[in-house]
Copies of this chain bind each other. A is one copy, B any other.
Amino acid sequence: MVRAARPADVEAILGLIRELAQYERLEHQMHASAADLHAHLFGTPPACEALVAEAAGRVVGYAVFLGAYSTFLTRPTLYLEDLYVTPQMRGTGLGKALLAQVAAVAVQRRCPRLDWTVLEWNRPAIDFYRRLGAELADPWRLCRLDGDALARLAAGAGTI
Protein backbone atom coordinates (compact mmCIF):
# COMPACT_ATOMS: atom_id res chain seq x y z
CA MET A 1 0.00 0.00 0.00
CA VAL A 2 1.27 3.43 -0.98
CA ARG A 3 0.28 6.52 1.00
CA ALA A 4 1.47 10.05 1.75
CA ALA A 5 4.17 10.15 4.42
CA ARG A 6 3.17 11.25 7.91
CA PRO A 7 5.38 12.80 10.62
CA ALA A 8 5.49 9.43 12.42
CA ASP A 9 7.19 7.91 9.33
CA VAL A 10 10.27 10.14 9.44
CA GLU A 11 12.54 7.72 11.36
CA ALA A 12 11.57 4.83 9.07
CA ILE A 13 12.20 6.94 5.95
CA LEU A 14 15.58 8.00 7.35
CA GLY A 15 16.49 4.35 7.85
CA LEU A 16 15.61 3.65 4.22
CA ILE A 17 17.59 6.70 3.01
CA ARG A 18 20.56 5.18 4.86
CA GLU A 19 19.95 1.82 3.13
CA LEU A 20 19.81 3.60 -0.23
CA ALA A 21 23.10 5.40 0.45
CA GLN A 22 24.70 2.05 1.29
CA TYR A 23 23.27 0.42 -1.84
CA GLU A 24 24.56 3.31 -3.98
CA ARG A 25 27.98 3.13 -2.24
CA LEU A 26 27.54 6.75 -1.20
CA GLU A 27 27.52 6.40 2.58
CA HIS A 28 30.30 9.00 2.74
CA GLN A 29 27.77 11.51 1.31
CA MET A 30 25.10 10.60 3.90
CA HIS A 31 24.64 13.22 6.62
CA ALA A 32 20.86 13.18 6.96
CA SER A 33 19.05 13.96 10.20
CA ALA A 34 15.50 13.10 11.26
CA ALA A 35 14.87 16.61 12.62
CA ASP A 36 15.82 18.22 9.31
CA LEU A 37 13.82 15.72 7.26
CA HIS A 38 10.79 16.32 9.45
CA ALA A 39 11.14 20.09 9.06
CA HIS A 40 11.56 19.84 5.28
CA LEU A 41 8.70 17.40 4.66
CA PHE A 42 6.18 19.06 6.97
CA GLY A 43 7.23 22.73 7.01
CA THR A 44 5.30 25.56 5.35
CA PRO A 45 5.98 25.37 2.52
CA PRO A 46 7.59 21.91 2.48
CA ALA A 47 10.98 21.62 0.72
CA CYS A 48 9.95 18.23 -0.69
CA GLU A 49 7.22 15.61 -0.39
CA ALA A 50 7.31 11.90 0.41
CA LEU A 51 5.23 8.82 -0.23
CA VAL A 52 5.76 5.58 1.65
CA ALA A 53 5.06 1.97 0.74
CA GLU A 54 3.73 -0.07 3.65
CA ALA A 55 3.59 -3.84 4.04
CA ALA A 56 2.24 -5.53 7.18
CA GLY A 57 2.19 -2.16 8.94
CA ARG A 58 5.87 -1.50 8.25
CA VAL A 59 7.34 1.21 5.99
CA VAL A 60 9.41 -0.75 3.45
CA GLY A 61 9.83 1.81 0.67
CA TYR A 62 9.61 5.49 -0.04
CA ALA A 63 9.71 8.15 -2.74
CA VAL A 64 10.81 11.76 -2.23
CA PHE A 65 9.95 14.27 -4.94
CA LEU A 66 9.68 18.01 -5.47
CA GLY A 67 8.93 20.59 -8.13
CA ALA A 68 11.35 21.41 -10.94
CA TYR A 69 11.05 23.51 -14.09
CA SER A 70 11.60 23.32 -17.83
CA THR A 71 12.46 26.58 -19.63
CA PHE A 72 12.01 24.83 -23.01
CA LEU A 73 8.41 24.00 -22.07
CA THR A 74 7.92 26.97 -19.68
CA ARG A 75 6.15 24.48 -17.45
CA PRO A 76 6.68 23.29 -13.89
CA THR A 77 7.84 19.68 -13.90
CA LEU A 78 8.43 17.10 -11.17
CA TYR A 79 11.78 15.79 -9.95
CA LEU A 80 12.10 12.44 -8.19
CA GLU A 81 14.93 12.71 -5.68
CA ASP A 82 14.73 9.12 -4.36
CA LEU A 83 12.83 5.92 -5.01
CA TYR A 84 13.71 2.97 -2.81
CA VAL A 85 12.23 -0.36 -1.72
CA THR A 86 14.04 -2.48 0.83
CA PRO A 87 15.63 -5.59 -0.80
CA GLN A 88 13.35 -8.19 0.85
CA MET A 89 10.29 -6.46 -0.59
CA ARG A 90 11.46 -6.04 -4.19
CA GLY A 91 9.48 -7.74 -6.91
CA THR A 92 6.20 -7.22 -5.06
CA GLY A 93 5.02 -4.25 -7.11
CA LEU A 94 5.68 -1.63 -4.45
CA GLY A 95 8.37 0.19 -6.47
CA LYS A 96 6.02 0.41 -9.43
CA ALA A 97 3.17 1.56 -7.16
CA LEU A 98 5.39 4.33 -5.73
CA LEU A 99 6.56 5.53 -9.15
CA ALA A 100 3.01 5.36 -10.54
CA GLN A 101 1.81 7.50 -7.65
CA VAL A 102 4.52 10.10 -8.31
CA ALA A 103 3.53 10.03 -12.00
CA ALA A 104 -0.08 10.59 -10.93
CA VAL A 105 0.97 13.63 -8.89
CA ALA A 106 2.78 14.96 -11.99
CA VAL A 107 -0.32 14.50 -14.16
CA GLN A 108 -2.60 15.98 -11.52
CA ARG A 109 -0.38 19.10 -11.26
CA ARG A 110 -0.12 19.38 -15.05
CA CYS A 111 3.62 18.69 -14.98
CA PRO A 112 4.48 17.32 -18.45
CA ARG A 113 7.66 15.61 -17.27
CA LEU A 114 9.09 13.60 -14.41
CA ASP A 115 12.90 13.50 -14.22
CA TRP A 116 15.33 11.70 -11.95
CA THR A 117 18.86 10.31 -12.01
CA VAL A 118 20.11 6.75 -11.82
CA LEU A 119 23.61 5.33 -11.38
CA GLU A 120 24.80 3.88 -14.68
CA TRP A 121 25.93 0.63 -13.01
CA ASN A 122 22.54 0.10 -11.39
CA ARG A 123 21.19 -2.17 -14.16
CA PRO A 124 18.26 -3.57 -12.15
CA ALA A 125 16.98 -0.02 -11.58
CA ILE A 126 17.54 1.00 -15.21
CA ASP A 127 15.73 -2.09 -16.47
CA PHE A 128 12.88 -1.47 -14.01
CA TYR A 129 12.51 2.16 -15.13
CA ARG A 130 12.59 1.21 -18.81
CA ARG A 131 9.89 -1.42 -18.29
CA LEU A 132 7.70 1.36 -16.88
CA GLY A 133 8.23 3.52 -19.97
CA ALA A 134 11.05 5.79 -18.80
CA GLU A 135 13.87 6.78 -21.12
CA LEU A 136 17.51 7.28 -20.29
CA ALA A 137 18.34 10.80 -21.49
CA ASP A 138 21.79 9.55 -22.38
CA PRO A 139 23.69 12.62 -23.56
CA TRP A 140 23.13 14.49 -20.28
CA ARG A 141 25.74 14.50 -17.55
CA LEU A 142 25.28 15.78 -14.02
CA CYS A 143 27.51 18.70 -13.00
CA ARG A 144 28.06 19.70 -9.41
CA LEU A 145 29.58 22.52 -7.37
CA ASP A 146 29.86 22.07 -3.63
CA GLY A 147 32.19 22.52 -0.68
CA ASP A 148 35.18 24.80 -1.16
CA ALA A 149 34.65 25.13 -4.91
CA LEU A 150 31.13 26.50 -4.38
CA ALA A 151 32.29 28.89 -1.66
CA ARG A 152 35.22 30.09 -3.79
CA LEU A 153 33.10 30.83 -6.83
CA ALA A 154 30.42 32.52 -4.69
CA ALA A 155 33.06 34.74 -3.09
CA GLY A 156 33.96 36.05 -6.54
CA ALA A 157 30.40 37.19 -7.30
CA GLY A 158 29.76 40.90 -7.64
CA THR A 159 27.07 42.60 -5.58
CA ILE A 160 23.78 42.97 -7.42
A positions within 8 Å CB-CB of B: 1-4, 17, 20-21, 26, 29-33, 36-37, 40, 45, 47-48, 51, 64, 66-76, 79, 81-82, 96-97, 99-101, 103-104, 106-108, 112-121, 126, 129, 132-154, 156-158, 160
Contact, CB under 8 Å: B143 / A100: no
Q: How many copies does the complex hold?
A: 2
Identity of the chain B residue whose Cβ is nearest the Cβ of A3 in the assembled complex: B160
- A74 and B154 CA atoms in complex are apart in Å by 22
Q: Shortest beta-carbon distance, A44 to chain B, in Å? A: 12
Given contacts A21-B72, A66-B69, A73-B32, contact A142 B154 (CB under 8 A): no
Given contacts A66-B69, A79-B68, A113-B150, contact A74 B32 (CB under 8 A): yes
